[in-house]
């Protein structure tokens, strides 16, 4: 992990509220794993107190540059969206535990990304595909403009399914509606997105024995394990920190009633 003032290479509007940013940082670009994130300090307007950093998942890297995709959700991401190439981005990263303990068993690896939960799933899909595992990807979004890298995913070598809430692309409805009924071939399931989606996946898995890994997008302050602002409840009555114990967890250790 390091703190860096890194050069922005590009910051492009790629959907109604979606932006893709590429940043020059060899330390991050050469040392991240899917599921890890960067903690970004939005640029501060003169006279205003500094804002807290905002966590965003790393999507990809090439040579000395890495990329992330973000949705403008509020003031922090709005300020980030106004930054220009060659501006300096104050970042800490790569942070958190990514998808480090992937079962490399044969069978189907099902990845599910909802909304801006898709980028870490796309990064993981590429890694699993490189490892020659059988990947099936499900992406759910509000509408066509909210889908992330849809064209690229459609042209990828793994099976890809889309749902949009308004039916503008793919199946109309929620991603949970189209998950397979037959779960016998499944080696593992991985998901990132709204809590409701991740809970519904837990219910869909029911008593099937395959492991289920989630990446949780809790609100964060420090991002480095100090403030406890990102705590998540566990089934044994304790709390774990999303920023350094996660954001990737085995879903079975979390207390979903309290999340």
Binding stretches for ligand FES (CB under 6 A): 220-223, 225-230, 241-243
Under DSSP, is residue 219 helix (H, G, I), strand (E, B) or coil? coil
- Options 162, 247, 248, 249; binder of ligand FAD; rule CB under 6 A: 247
**φ, ψ at 204 (rounded to 5°):** -60, -40
- Among ligand FAD, ligand FES, none, partner that 247 touches (CB below 5 to 8 angstroms by kind): ligand FAD
Paired with 88 in beta bridges are 7
146 interacts with ligand FAD by CB under 6 A = no
Could you tell me if 28 and 9 are in contact, meaning their C-beta atoms sit under 8 angstroms apart?
A: no
- Among ligand FES, ligand FAD, none, partner that 56 touches (CB below 5 to 8 angstroms by kind): ligand FAD
Q: Omega into 94 within 30° of 0, i.e. cis?
A: yes
218 interacts with ligand FAD by CB under 6 A = yes
CB of 213 to ligand FAD, least distance (A): 14
Q: Which helix (H) or strand (E) holds 65?
A: strand 65-71
Closest CA to 191 of 210, 172, 207, 169: 210
CB of 6 to ligand FAD, least distance (A): 17
**Residue 142 gets which letter from DSSP?**
S
User: How big is the chain, counted in residues?
Assistant: 259
- Among ligand FES, ligand FAD, none, partner that 222 touches (CB below 5 to 8 angstroms by kind): ligand FES
Contact residues for ligand FAD (CB under 6 A)?
37, 54-57, 68-71, 73-77, 116, 119, 217-220, 247
């Amino acid at each position: 992990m390091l703190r860096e003032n890194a050069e922005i290479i590009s910051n492009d509007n790629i959907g109604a509220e979606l932006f893709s940013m590429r940043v020059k940082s060899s330390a991050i670009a050469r040392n991240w794993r899917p599921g890890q994130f960067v903690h970004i300090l939005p640029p501060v307007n003169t006279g205003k107190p500094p804002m807290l950093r905002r966590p965003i998942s790393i999507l990809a890297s090439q040579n000395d540059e890495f990329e992330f995709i973000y949705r403008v959700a509020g003031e922090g991401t709005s300020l980030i969206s106004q930054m220009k190439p060659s501006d300096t981005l104050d970042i800490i990263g790569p942070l958190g535990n990514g998808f480090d303990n992937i079962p490399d068993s044969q069978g189907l690896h099902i990845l599910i990304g909802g909304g801006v939960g898709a980028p870490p799933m796309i990064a993981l899909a590429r890694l699993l595909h490189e490892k020659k595992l059988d990947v099936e990807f499900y992406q759910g979004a509000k509408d066509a403009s909210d889908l992330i890298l849809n064209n690229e995913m459609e042209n990828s070598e793994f099976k890809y399914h889309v749902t949009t809430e308004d039916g503008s692309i793919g199946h109309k409805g929620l991603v949970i509606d189209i998950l397979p009924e037959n779960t016998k071939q499944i080696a593992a399931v991985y998901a990132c997105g709204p809590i409701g989606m991740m809970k519904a996946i837990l219910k869909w898995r029911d008593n099937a024995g395959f492991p289920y890994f989630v990446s949780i997008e809790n609100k964060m302050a420090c991002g480095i394990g100090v403030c406890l602002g990102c705590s998540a409840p566990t089934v044994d009555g304790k709390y774990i920190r999303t920023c350094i114990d996660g954001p990737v967890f085995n879903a079975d250790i979390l207390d979903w009633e309290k999340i």
